[in-house]
Each structure stands twice: as structure tokens, then as C-alpha cells.
């Protein structure tokens, strides 16, 4: 059966909250990407998320709250710097990793004794959590490993028939996921760069570490940072601006269809086997377009996607993180 998409007015959100309360699955917009929500304190409901997404059970979920006081229900030993961050960045795209309380079922945290919590800023997400009267566990609402969904239609592409409802709130305004910050270590460590930048966190925290890209370290600290993630079906190649034309030419000559994501306009000879998406120079606009562009090129059936690198500052770090993971081949 097809999964229904409802425009997210108050009646639809109330209906969605009812589904969450009775242990079902609802996809909903947040300011970052669409999430796939279930009652975070109901282990059976949370288990359905992993099954619908085909996500490994050891990859922990983010728990969404509407009010700061719900944090104390989920996390213990909340340090002062957590409150400083909450004050500055919540509601918003910052996820905090803290030691969990016994209320949080271990399936929600992938068996870890820490929990990741965020208060989303999107009015539909907030209202849904409020009306559900419980925290909502929600990973991105994509099939595991695929580019994250930034529209209700993307959610349907990946999860149709597997979930109870999709709330449509239009395209998500940020387009890349929240920053995941581990506060159980000193200095705090960014496990996944996202909507709140390293520079903004440094202003509050002083020293902040960025999780190295070494596979072993990444996999240990945050299971979800394992490779080949956010990935289109096509093979993705990251290119320096200067080498881009050469690479695209080589792929075309090998007889494969190629998609290109570039920021500077260039002259391309029209070809059936070549599809070019002009990406914005502005990093916020780029982030908003990123996952939709990958899905669009997949839909055109290109075999290779060549993407021009972006500068690694501000949101550029989150963008490059996603592109690098999409370009990785799985470890042997």
C-alpha cells in the first residue's frame, strides 16, 4: 500500500501525533532534513525505524525534544557547557551526545550508554513532538546509505509502503543534517559536521575537536559515520576545479553517462550522455540543493557523478563531509 502524504496542517499533525503515541512511524520535516519518527521511549516502535530504513541496529538514533526540560528525562550528568550550548543554539541543528538515563531504551541508542538529543527549530517538528507528548527518535527518513531526504517526495521514493504517514512541510531550509557534538569527552568532539558550524561552536566552547576521517576512529565513536553514506547509485568522484574537465572528458570517452555538479559556469559541449547541474556559490544555498541534486542525477540514470570540491569553512565542512562519504567505496 502507498504511504499517504498529508500537508502538515494542525489536523494532520494531530493525526501524526496519534500514530506516534500508538507506536507507529511518521516522516516529518525538520529544518535540516526529513526525519523518520517513532516514540523514543517505546523499544518496539523504535525497532520499526531500523527495519523500515534497513539500518543496522548498532547505529544510534537522534532523539528530538520540544522543550529543554525534556533533556533531563533523557540525559544525566549534563555539564554547564551543555546548558551554554542549549541557550545559544536550541532550538536548532545541534545534536548533543550525553550519558543516557535508564528511561531511554538501548535500541534507541544502538546499545550505547550515551544518547544524542536535539530540539529542532522547524515549527512542524516542534508541534509534532509537543502533541505526541513524548520525545521522538528520528534518523533521516531515507533508506540506509542513500542521500538524505529534503522533500516529502524523497521520503516516498525510499520508504513508500514501509511507514504509516509522511507529513509534507515543503523543502527543508538547511538541507544537511545537524551537527553531532560529543560532550562526554574533553574537549568536546564534533562527530558529524552539520548545520551549526565549527566556528560557531568554538565561540562558545573554545577548543573543539573534529572527528578524524580515519575509518577505525570514526566507526568506534559514531557508528553512523561509517563510509558509503549519503550516496547516490552512481559512482561519485570529487574533483579539484582545475582537473574537472579532464575527468569528465575521460568518463565520457569511456562511454559512460556522466552527471556534473559545478559552481562556476563553464562552456560544455551539449551531449546526451552529459548532464550538468549548476550549484550555487553561496554555501547555505549549496547545502539546501545538495541531496536533491544527487537524487536528480540518479534519476537521469548517470553512471558517474563528478562534483567540484567546495571550500572547507562554515557549512562547507558539512557539505564536503557528505560528498566524501558519498564518494567512498565500502571498506573490504
By CB under 6 A, name the binding residues for ligand TXA.
30, 32-33, 35, 59-62, 93, 95, 97, 109, 112, 114-116, 120, 138-140, 177-178, 180, 191-192, 222-225
**Residue 17: CB minimum distance to Mg ion, A:** 23
**Residue 332: CB minimum distance to Mg ion, A:** 23
Q: Which does 114 bind (CB under 5 to 8 A by kind): ligand TXA, Mg ion, none?
A: ligand TXA
Task: Tell me which residue has its CB nearest to ligand TXA.
Answer: 224
Q: Which does 109 bind (CB under 5 to 8 A by kind): Mg ion, ligand TXA, none?
A: ligand TXA
Query: Quick one: 230 or 258, whose CB is closer to ligand TXA?
Result: 230
Q: Which does 223 bind (CB under 5 to 8 A by kind): Mg ion, ligand TXA, none?
A: ligand TXA
**Residue 129: CB minimum distance to ligand TXA, A:** 11
Query: Quick one: 196 or 234, whose CB is closer to ligand TXA?
Result: 196
Q: Which of 108, 140, 179, 222 binds Mg ion (CB under 5 A)?
A: 140
91's CB contacts (< 8 A; 6+ apart) are 119, 120, 121, 126
Q: Of 68-76, 132-140, 205-213, 305-313, which part binds Mg ion (CB under 5 A)?
A: 132-140
C-alpha cell, 190? 564534533
Strand 179-182 and strand 189-192: the pairing is antiparallel
Rounded Cα gap, residues 293 and 29, in angstroms: 18
By the 10 Å C-beta count (0-12 exposed, 13-18 middle, 19+ buried), 297 is classed as buried
| Burial call 303-330: b when 16+ CB within 10 Å, e when fewer | ebbbbbbbeeebbbbbbbbbbbbbbbee
278 neighbors 262 (Cβ within 8 angstroms): yes
**Residue 182: CB minimum distance to ligand TXA, A:** 6
**Residue 325: CB minimum distance to ligand TXA, A:** 10
Q: CA angle 233-64-104, nearest 5°?
A: 105
Query: Quick one: 257 or 322, whose CB is closer to ligand TXA?
Result: 322
Question: Coil, helix or strand for 79?
Answer: coil
DSSP string of 266-310?
Answer: ------TTEEEEE--SSHHHHHHHHHHHHHHHHHTT-SEEEEE--
| Burial call 193-205: b when 16+ CB within 10 Å, e when fewer | bbbbbbebbeeee
Q: Which does 108 bind (CB under 5 to 8 A by kind): Mg ion, ligand TXA, none?
A: none
Query: Quick one: 128 or 306, whose CB is closer to ligand TXA?
Result: 128
Q: Does 178 bind Mg ion (CB under 5 A)?
A: no
Q: Does 150 bind Mg ion (CB under 5 A)?
A: no
Q: Helical H runs in 160-282? A: 198-205, 215-221, 244-253
Q: Does 179 bind Mg ion (CB under 5 A)?
A: no
**Residue 283: CB minimum distance to ligand TXA, A:** 17
Query: Residues interacting with Mg ion, by CB under 5 A?
Result: 140
Amino acid at each position: 500500500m502507498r504511504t499517504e502524504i498529508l500537508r502538515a496542517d494542525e489536523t494532520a499533525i494531530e493525526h501524526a501525533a496519534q500514530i506516534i503515541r500508538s507506536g507507529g512511524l511518521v516522516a516529518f520535516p525538520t529544518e535540516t532534513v526529513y526525519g523518520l519518527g517513532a516514540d523514543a521511549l517505546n523499544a518496539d516502535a523504535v525497532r520499526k525505524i531500523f527495519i523500515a530504513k534497513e539500518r543496522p541496529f548498532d547505529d544510534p538514533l537522534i532523539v528530538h525534544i520540544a522543550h529543554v526540560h525534556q533533556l533531563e528525562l533523557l540525559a544525566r550528568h549534563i555539564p554547564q557547557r551543555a546548558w551554554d550550548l542549549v541557550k545559544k543554539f536550541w532550538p536548532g541543528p545541534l545534536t548533543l551526545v550525553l550519558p543516557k538515563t535508564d528511561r531511554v531504551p538501548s535500541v534507541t541508542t544502538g546499545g550505547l550508554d550515551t544518547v544524542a538529543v536535539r530540539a529542532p527549530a522547524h515549527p512542524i517538528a516542534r508541534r509534532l513532538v509537543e502533541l505526541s507528548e513524548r520525545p521522538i527518535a528520528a534518523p533521516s527518513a531515507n533508506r540506509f546509505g542513500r542521500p538524505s531526504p529534503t522533500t516529502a517526495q524523497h521520503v516516498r521514493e525510499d520508504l513508500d509502503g514501509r511507514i504509516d504517514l509522511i507529513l509534507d512541510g515543503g523543502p527543508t531550509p538547511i538541507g544537511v543534517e545537524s551537527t553531532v557534538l560529543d560532550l562526554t569527552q574533553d574537549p568536546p568532539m564534533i562527530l558529524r559536521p552539520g548545520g551549526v558550524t565549527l566556528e560557531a561552536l568554538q565561540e562558545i566552547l573554545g577548543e573543539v575537536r573534529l572527528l578524524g576521517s580515519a575509518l577505525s576512529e570514526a566507526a568506534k565513536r559514531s557508528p553512523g559515520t561509517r563510509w558509503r553514506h549519503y550516496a547516490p547509485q552512481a559512482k561519485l568522484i570529487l574533483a579539484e576545479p582545475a582537473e574537472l574537465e579532464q575527468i569528465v572528458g575521460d568518463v565520457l570517452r569511456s562511454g559512460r553517462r556522466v552527471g556534473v555538479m559545478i559552481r562556476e559556469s563553464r562552456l560544455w559541449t551539449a551531449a546526451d550522455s552529459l548532464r550538468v547541474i549548476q550549484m550555487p556559490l553561496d554555501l547555505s544555498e549549496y547545502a539546501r540543493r545538495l541531496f536533491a541534486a544527487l537524487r536528480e542525477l540518479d534519476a537521469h540514470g548517470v553512471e558517474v557523478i563528478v562534483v567540484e570540491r567546495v571550500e572547507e569553512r562554515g557549512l562547507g565542512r558539512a557539505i564536503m563531509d557528505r560528498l566524501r562519504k558519498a564518494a567512498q567505496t565500502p571498506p573490504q
